[in-house]
């Protein structure tokens, strides 16, 4: 009898409170999609699905002090999957590694969560190579012996605590997998008689475990298992590369010049952990650009498996879009009047657009975005000569980006239109100054000196954020268009999220997401529901002009031709539907299977995968 397990591991694995960015969405979607496929018997129906990640009991436990995550499992059920899992966890606990275990269900299929608190590994004494030392030091000593990780160098770097946490998390994940795989063997050894032991070994369930690690924080787990000779099928997925992210928009130039040197600002310890993907049976990348970077910086080869999006609706919710747009328009109209006075702008004359990203100004293309907004203002001025609508039209671009969540008690009543200096920190200050220097701030819009404005929204958007009090999905639904001018972007899930709400978008060619557009049949002649701007080969002036023209196209179509605008929305929604999670998760699953002899309930077309 064979029992099959898939373990999905990552720094953001676990409940949503462990989320730092888009990787959580990917791990969560893969687990849930696997469960739905198993429930429909499109993959092995008895597959056991586990998600492994960190456990942060208090805000101070998170190595990322800006996020200060606290892991909350109160909304999950107690873990109750089977005795083998319990036995493996008991072996971990006997070693001193505590694990917080829980589970949820999707389509009647359980998904288990194994969460590890690495903060106390300095207080556990372990004997390694005949010497007593702390568990944290034992992990580092073994890592040097197995894969030549120079922890003595890396732990002294500014990112030392983060590196130590990743190594501890990877050790815990790999040790659990090791115990799970060897469970039958260990039980058989309990019998003194060799013949009985051999018979017990033959009738006990065989554990076939596959480990899928998302991003470098857990790549040491798969490297350690391979070095120890544990029979596990492993897969490493890179969503970006550490050297590429450090180079940012300059990584395109490095790829073009075949320059594989790491920039001086590259965190070498993190990049070294990333290079451990070479130990995986399969290496995958979320886009062609990430694959090119990995080949350049790490000499890694692999396959491209795109990201996807969960889409549980069949059509655009037009009632939601209209209601959200009206809410945003009223908020902006009333706020502008309260803060700056003057004539009240009719809410229907305000056309909201948005961008949302991490606060990486150059990588996310904010200088180019602001320049294009200024240029669009000039386009509107010229439109006023022969279009009666143009004179009253106002375009407001919400720049949703922040260093972290802000306490709503510290925000002014009309945040973010009223944005005092003391609210801003770090790069938020620089971005706000860039807006003011170009004269496209909200004050100039309210005074009638500009028709296009950028409003910085330095907060994690949500129903209790002290600002518009709308979820990200509601903001996306209510805006006329989204614009994502990233100079460095491995995939761009936010473009798909906008499409899920039926909102057209403008994306840069540098985004991995742009490659998917080649597969979509256009519903609208002309530019279409998702516009790609060339920011690789085009000059800076051409790029800024193209962003401005694309934004003008969406906003003007919204005003002048509602039938065509709806078709643009339908096209963006069709792309999101096309790029659901089923296809990529099946690709992951096929590459993670460890046996060619599958369960009877497996459909014939899923059988016969590579033997690990």
Euclidean distance between CA atoms 160 and 379, whole angstroms:
51
488 has pLDDT over 70:
yes
Better pLDDT: 21 or 521? 21
Tokens in use for 333? 């109209």
List residues bridging with 396 in a β-sheet. 352, 453
3.40.50.2030, 3.40.50.2000, 3.30.420.40, 3.40.50.620: which CATH number matches 3-308+585-596? 3.40.50.2000
For the segment 522-534, the average pLDDT, to the nearest whole number, is 71
Euclidean distance between CA atoms 244 and 298, whole angstroms:
11
What residue has token string 């006990």?
Answer: 204
What are the extents of the domains in the chain?
Answer: 3-308+585-596, 318-579
For the segment 275-303, the average pLDDT, to the nearest whole number, is 94
Report CA Rg, the chain. Answer: 26
What SS3 state is found at 573?
A: helix
Cα-based distances in Å from 296 to 188, 289, 385: 47, 11, 52
Q: 3-state secondary structure string, 237-294?
A: EECCCHHHHHHHHHHHHHHHCCCCCCCCCCCHHHHHHHHHHHHCCEEEECCHHHHHHH
pLDDT-wise least confident of 327-341, 420-434, 525-539, 547-561 = 525-539
Residue 427 CA, distance from chain mean position:
21
Q: How confident is the model at residue 610 (pLDDT cuts 50, 70, 90)?
A: very low
pTM of the model as a whole: 0.84
Read off φ and ψ for residue 309, nearest 5 degrees.
Answer: -150, 145
The predicted structure's pLDDT at residue 576:
87
Q: Which CATH architecture best describes the domain 318-579? A: 3-Layer(aba) Sandwich (3.40)
The per-residue pLDDT for range 448-462, each reduced to its tens digit, is 999 999 999 999 899
Q: Is 36:106 a contact under the CB 8 Å cutoff?
A: yes
Euclidean distance between CA atoms 453 and 481, whole angstroms:
15
For the segment 383-387, the average pLDDT, to the nearest whole number, is 75
* Closest by CA position to 456, among listed 426, 493, 487, 418: 418
* Closest by CA position to 159, among listed 246, 224, 238: 246
Q: Is 318:339 a contact under the CB 8 Å cutoff?
A: no
The predicted structure's pLDDT at residue 38:
95
For the segment 215-237, the average pLDDT, to the nearest whole number, is 97
The yes-or-no answer to whether 3-308+585-596 and 318-579 have a common fold is yes
Better pLDDT: 186 or 175? 175
What SS3 state is found at 453?
A: strand
Q: Is 35:111 a contact under the CB 8 Å cutoff?
A: yes
Q: How confident is the model at residue 199 (pLDDT cuts 50, 70, 90)?
A: very low
Q: How confident is the model at residue 366 (pLDDT cuts 50, 70, 90)?
A: very high
Cα dihedral 418, 421, 423, 427, rounded to 10, equals 120
The predicted structure's pLDDT at residue 521:
54
What SS3 state is found at 191?
A: coil
CA dihedral over 465, 470, 476, 479, signed as positive or negative: negative
């Amino acid at each position: 009898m064979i029992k099959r397990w898939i373990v999905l591991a990552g720094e953001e694995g676990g409940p949503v409170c462990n989320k730092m960015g888009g990787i959580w969405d990917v791990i969560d979607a893969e687990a849930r999609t696997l469960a739905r496929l198993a429930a429909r018997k499109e993959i092995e129906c008895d597959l056991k699905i586990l998600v492994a990640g960190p456990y942060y009991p208090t805000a101070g436990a998170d190595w990322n002090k800006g996020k200060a995550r606290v892991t909350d499992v109160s909304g999950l059920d107690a873990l109750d999957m089977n005795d083998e899992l319990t036995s493996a966890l008991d072996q971990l606990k006997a070693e001193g590694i505590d694990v917080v275990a829980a589970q949820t269900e999707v389509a009647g299929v359980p998904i288990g969560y194994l969460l590890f608190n690495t903060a106390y590994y300095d207080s556990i004494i372990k004997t390694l190579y005949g010497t007593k030392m702390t568990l944290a030091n034992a992990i580092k000593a073994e890592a040097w012996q197995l894969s030549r990780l120079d922890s003595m160098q890396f732990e002294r770097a500014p990112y030392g605590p983060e590196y130590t946490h990743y190594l501890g998390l990877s050790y815990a994940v790999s040790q659990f997998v090791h115990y799970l795989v060897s469970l039958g063997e260990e039980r058989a050894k309990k019998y003194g008689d060799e013949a009985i032991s051999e018979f017990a070994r033959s009738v006990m369930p065989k554990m076939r475990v596959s480990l899928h690690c998302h991003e470098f924080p857990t790549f040491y787990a798969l490297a350690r298992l391979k070095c120890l000779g544990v029979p596990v099928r492993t897969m490493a997925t890179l969503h970006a590369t550490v050297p590429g992210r450090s180079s940012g928009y300059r990584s395109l130039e490095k790829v073009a010049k075949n320059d594989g040197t790491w920039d001086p600002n590259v965190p070498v310890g993190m990049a070294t952990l990333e290079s451990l993907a070479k130990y995986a049976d399969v290496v995958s990348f979320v886009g062609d650009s990430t694959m090119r970077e990995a080949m350049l910086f790490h000499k890694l080869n692999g396959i491209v498996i795109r990201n996807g999006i969960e889409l549980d609706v069949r059509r655009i919710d037009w009632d939601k879009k209209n209601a959200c747009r009206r809410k945003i328009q009223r908020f902006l109209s009333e706020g502008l009047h309260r803060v700056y006075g003057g004539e009240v702008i009719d809410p229907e004359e305000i056309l909201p657009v948005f961008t949302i990203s991490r606060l990486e100004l150059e990588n996310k293309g904010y200088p180019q975005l602001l320049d294009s907004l200024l240029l669009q203002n000039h386009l509107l001025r010229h439109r006023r000569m022969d279009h009666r609508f143009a004179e009253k039209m106002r375009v407001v671009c919400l720049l949703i980006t922040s260093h972290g969540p802000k306490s709503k008690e510290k925000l002014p009543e009309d945040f973010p239109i009223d944005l005092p200096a003391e609210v801003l920190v770090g790069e938020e200050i620089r971005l706000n100054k860039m807006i003011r220097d170009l004269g496209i701030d909200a004050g100039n819009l309210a005074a009638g000196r500009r028709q296009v404005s950028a409003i910085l929204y330095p907060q994690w958007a949500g129903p209790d954020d002290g600002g518009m009090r709308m979820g990200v999905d509601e903001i996306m639904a209510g805006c006329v268009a989204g614009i994502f001018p990233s100079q460095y972007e491995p995939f761009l899930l936010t473009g798909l999220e906008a499409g899920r709400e039926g909102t057209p978008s403008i994306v840069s060619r540098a985004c991995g997401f742009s490659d998917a557009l080649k597969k979509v049949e256009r519903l609208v002649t002309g530019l279409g529901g998702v516009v790609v701007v060339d920011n690789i080969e085009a000059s800076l002036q051409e790029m800024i002009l193209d962003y401005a023209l694309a934004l003008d196209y969406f906003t003007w179509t919204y005003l002048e031709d509602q039938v065509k605008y709806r078709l643009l929305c339908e096209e963006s929604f069709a792309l999101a539907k096309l790029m659901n999670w089923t296809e990529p998760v099946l690709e992951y699953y096929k590459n993670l299977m460890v046996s060619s002899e599958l369960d009877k309930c497996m459909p014939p077309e899923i059988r016969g995968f590579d033997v690990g």
